[in-house]
Amino acid sequence: MNKKTALITGVTGQDGAYLSEFLLKKGYVVHGIKRRSSMFNTDRIDHLYQDPHVENQNFFLHYGDLTDSTNLTRIIQEVQPDEIYNLAAMSHVQVSFEMPEYTANCDALGTLRILEAIRLLGMEKKTRIYQASTSELYGKVQEIPQTETTPFYPRSPYAVAKMYAYWITVNYREAYGIYACNGILFNHESPIRGETFVTRKITRATSKIALGLQDKFYLGNLDAKRDWGHAKDYVRMMWMILQADQPEDWVIATGKTTSVRDFVKMSFAHIGVELTFEGKNENERGYVKSCNNPLYQLEIGKEVVAVDPKYFRPTEVDLLIGDATKAKEKLGWVPQYNLENLVEDMMTSDLKLMEKQQYLKEGGYKIKNYFE
């Protein structure tokens, strides 16, 4: 039997890495598009790399960019994918306020470029397309919990760009009969989550504080609530969405919401430290209330978290909680992780990472400036 071929944009990101691993295990030939960078940007997929000189290679990387339509069209023509997973994006909501035009070019028009390539190449009946849509579309919440029929109200240049991508995907499905689907995924995290998203920022900083490598860290809105799942569960859903009989749009979420403040408490609880929060808004601080782990001795009363208003967003999404009933009932999705397992997975991994840093520091190792 011929192997299926998948093309993943954003292969070097969190989801791209987990999805590549998942599809390779399923026996797919996987092609990924990576951006040219002045330094290596393939850390998350290095373990999947195959020497191009060996036979039966099933993982290939191509240079490309969502802002370059000729490049995308050429790669799609060469690869002839059965499935395209469009995961590439300028994916940071706060950064999108700084780079709104680029965000629109990449996240909105990038999706159009892929759909147009399929149309130009006459591959409407061959290739199925997964579009990485987002719970940020709901923005200023119109309904709780959010489902496939909840109206959108985007609150950032990122969300507005993703709203164009959502509708152009629906439009190409209806206009040209392309099997194209939106996965409206709520936040999903993991040990390889980007370091500037709030969960990973918290688990990294908590691990550093536990090991005495850092005193405290700063966050923005502690009241924001998110529906956090594990990326491994969510990439499995991306694949299931493209195996359904009919192309549709799907909400993927845990159905539970947690504040940023509570995520901080859970991360510290993992190292046996109880936190208490005092003060309001930009004056809020988190202190050590008790410490019950002989490995990580933190002083009672020590301030470990503070609010810095520079992390506040011009417009915020205060509350997200999704209802994935449709995906559970029609696709049989059963997530393996809950929030407790997720925090444990991230903390275990970041503690290991920081232990390496601690080891180097204790050994007197200093990273040298290139020009010294």
Q: Which residues are catalytic?
A: 134, 136, 158
Residue 24's nearest CA partner among 1, 54, 3, 55 is: 3
Beta bridge partners of 86: 9, 131
Rounded to a whole number of angstroms, the minimum distance from the CB of residue 107 to ligand NDP is 7
Residues 6 or more apart whose Cβ sits within 8 Å of residue 284 = 222, 277, 278, 306, 307
Work out the burial of residue 101: count CB atoms within 10 Å of its CB; fewer than 13 is exposed, 13-18 middle, 19 or more buried: exposed
In the complex with ligand GDR, the residue whose CB is nearer, 76 or 346, is 346
* Beta-carbon count within 10 A of 176 CB: 13
In the complex with ligand GDR, the residue whose CB is nearer, 186 or 337, is 186
**12 interacts with, out of ligand GDR, ligand NDP, none, CB within 5 to 8 A per kind:** ligand NDP
**The two three-digit tokens of residue 118, written as one number:** 């399929």
Query: Which region, judged by CB under 6 A, interacts with ligand NDP, from 81-89, 113-121, 315-323, 345-353?
Result: 81-89
Among 4, 24, 35, 313, binds ligand NDP (CB under 6 A): 35
**22 interacts with, out of ligand NDP, ligand GDR, none, CB within 5 to 8 A per kind:** none
In angstroms, what CA-CA distances link 309 with 200, 228, 281, 312? 19, 23, 9, 5
Judged by CB under 6 A, does residue 226 bind ligand GDR? yes
CA–CA gap between residue 164 and residue 158 (Å, rounded): 10
Instruction: Find out whether 96 and 51 touch, Cβ atoms under 8 Å.
Output: no
Alpha-carbon Rg for the chain in angstroms: 22
Judged by CB under 6 A, does residue 108 bind ligand GDR? no
Site string for ligand GDR, 61-100 (x = CB under 6 A): ------------------------------x-xx------
CA–CA gap between residue 168 and residue 174 (Å, rounded): 10
Query: Which region, judged by CB under 6 A, interacts with ligand GDR, from 31-39, 141-149, 214-222, 239-247?
Result: 214-222
Residue 226, φ and ψ in degrees, nearest 5 = -130, 155
Instruction: Find out whether 123 and 72 touch, Cβ atoms under 8 Å.
Output: no
Judged by CB under 6 A, does residue 23 bind ligand NDP? no
Q: Count of residues binding ligand NDP (CB under 6 A)?
A: 25
Site string for ligand GDR, 123-142 (x = CB under 6 A): -----------xxx------
**90 interacts with, out of ligand NDP, ligand GDR, none, CB within 5 to 8 A per kind:** ligand NDP
Judged by CB under 6 A, does residue 219 bind ligand GDR? yes
CA–CA gap between residue 5 and residue 85 (Å, rounded): 11
Judged by CB under 6 A, does residue 257 bind ligand NDP? no
**316 interacts with, out of ligand GDR, ligand NDP, none, CB within 5 to 8 A per kind:** ligand GDR
Beta bridge partners of 63: 34
Task: Calculate the CA dihedral of residues 128, 129, 130, 134 and round it to 10 degrees.
Answer: -150
Judged by CB under 6 A, does residue 117 bind ligand NDP? no
CA–CA gap between residue 240 and residue 334 (Å, rounded): 11
Residue 178's nearest CA partner among 136, 229, 220, 116 is: 116
Judged by CB under 6 A, does residue 191 bind ligand NDP? no
Site string for ligand GDR, 8-47 (x = CB under 6 A): ----------------------------------------
* Beta-carbon count within 10 A of 170 CB: 18
> Under the rule (CB under 6 A), what is the footprint of ligand NDP?
9-10, 12-16, 35, 37, 41, 65-67, 87-91, 106, 132, 134, 185, 187-188, 194
Question: Which chain residues interact with ligand GDR by CB under 6 A?
Answer: 91, 93-94, 134-136, 186-187, 196-198, 201, 219-221, 224, 226, 260, 311, 313, 316-317
